[in-house]
Chain A
């Protein structure tokens, strides 16, 4: 459905031109810059671009890009889907994604947690997916409990939205409890580091086996979708074998949430699961690239919860390069390095790099992990003996690497 409003049409055209210019001149990733111009021209553009399509929003601290890609693949079984697969998840990136595909009847958009209230109020999503909430770039978007309260308030204003939520995450459950139509998904995944006190009353939340509760009565709801190992059980009691090509439990949790969300829009779970199996990498993540003497697997980890997952996925006998930056998009504060269990890297060959390699080196030193420092991530790879290399980088370090390494 093309935007019919004249001002919207003009501003979208200008936005597209800017995006093309930005790409052509190499000034930036066209998506974000184009969207920023569009928003300046017309603050209502998001509402008009979202109107008359079925919009699915995906948010959470970790797994947004992965889950949004999964949902995009699943919904493509129905029709064309607009999406911000480039990970540009601020309002301007969202606008750019919708403007790029004005005719697509579906849209799957990952949205930064802090911007969900604003974006959701404009596009009135059919489905909102809440993955998890933990600390990420505290210096930039405020503390995670404030995010939860804002999400909860926003969800209360969306009575027609199906809220698909991971009920093993206490903060997610608190936010989604405000929904008129919650769809609870038991993923078995929890990062309890940020949620030991109850978001409702401040007492300690008690965790036991597969469940949790607080003395105030706030407790884990009964899920209608349940992930166990590779199997997702649907509300109808059928089992779907995920058999993903992406590694790790976190990706299986993302897939379970994606199946539930796709089902809300009308894609049968078995159809969706088959489409998820075609995904081999996420914007370069998990992809293996070849350099002359090395075969390098690229991984992104930008906060303690993401690192906990990555440490489980790393191949045991392969050397590891860790790249850490502290640009604005990464968060300026590196305290989180001390919440990562780097001790698990003991006994491997480890190279530290990135703009804040000195902070990382101190952390590894106290973890008693032998390591050396390379000034530059590509040189870090070359400093290792020929063979496989696992490289783990945080946000801007990863982005720079993807640009510098050969694709495919």
Chain B
């Protein structure tokens, strides 16, 4: 990289920011800065072109109409797709996961195209999943925890693998949770998922930097992580 500053794109925060989603950008940025790297958060507004030159792209949660608007916008301005083709890291939460898929059905029954970076199709679930969500296996050794609040059932095709297996909550709806293709990750662990899951945050950052990260001790994060893991059955922890 000619410019060593890591640029973290926060996509369409006006419509994809229902649940404190800007927190993920802040977590990534601080975890780089605290290790001595240069980093900045670049909000990409709804009415501006999506640049293809950012290092990380974050998509948050949004309500039904907001999600349709965001998907339309990201298909019309192809910066995200171009960046992903050249290996940029992409992390989508909740509505963000569904938009990253190939298609999703709204609560109105209409199908909408997604940007297709994940091999995922989403349809409305019979009921809303609103609860703590915990996931094991997959990308990270330790369990991932968070909160989910969505009414989507996501089905993965051959082009994606799940982020993990659900041990509490609903996730994709078939016992799996989330989707991963290369450096593109989607999850129903919503809102500031990376605040509660520092290992996942650092995995994304290691993709961006192209190497392992120096260890980072943040006692507050450890306390929260321990407190949340303690609510899971002992055999899972």
Contacts and interface: CB of A to CB of B under 8 A. Distances in A.
A358 B228 CA distance: 10
Contact of A338 (B15, B30, B130, B191): B191
B65 A202 contact: yes
A197 interface: yes
A384 B68 CA distance: 49
B69 interface: yes
B195 A366 contact: yes
A335 B20 contact: yes
Contacts of B130: 139, 333
Interface in A315-353: 332-339
Contacts of A204: 14-15, 46-47, 69
B224 A362 contact: yes
Interface in B126-173: 128, 130-132, 147, 149
Contacts of A202: 65-66, 68-69
A366 B47 CA distance: 29
Contacts of A194: 18
Interface in B107-122: none
Q: Is the interface of A mostly helix, strand, loop or mixed?
A: helix
Interface in B183-209: 190-192, 195-196
B98 interface: no
Contact of B221 (A139, A203, A365): A365
B26 interface: yes
B162 to A, nearest CB: 23
B19 A138 contact: yes
Interface string B10-23: 00001101111111
A157 to B, nearest CB: 23
B63 interface: yes
Nearest to B228: A358
Nearest to B47: A204
B209 to A, nearest CB: 20
Interface string A242-255: 00000000000000
A139 B147 contact: yes
A363 interface: yes
Contacts of A364: 220
A139 B132 CA distance: 11
B58 to A, nearest CB: 12
A136 to B, nearest CB: 12
A333 B195 contact: no
A336 B19 CA distance: 6
Most A CB within 10 A of own CB, among B63, B130, B227: B63
Given A139-B149, A204-B69, A366-B30, A339 B20 contact: yes
Interface of A: 135, 138-139, 142-145, 193-194, 196-198, 202-204, 332-339, 358-359, 361-368
20 contacts: A142-B128, A145-B65, A202-B68, A204-B15, A204-B69, A333-B149, A335-B190, A336-B20, A338-B22, A338-B23, A338-B192, A339-B17, A358-B224, A359-B224, A362-B196, A363-B23, A363-B195, A365-B220, A366-B23, A366-B195
Given A196-B66, A358-B220, 16 more contacts: A135-B18, A139-B147, A143-B18, A143-B63, A202-B69, A204-B69, A333-B130, A335-B191, A358-B223, A358-B224, A362-B196, A362-B221, A365-B218, A365-B220, A366-B23, A366-B27
Closest 8 CB pairs of A and B: A338-B20, A335-B191, A338-B23, A202-B65, A335-B19, A335-B20, A196-B14, A358-B224
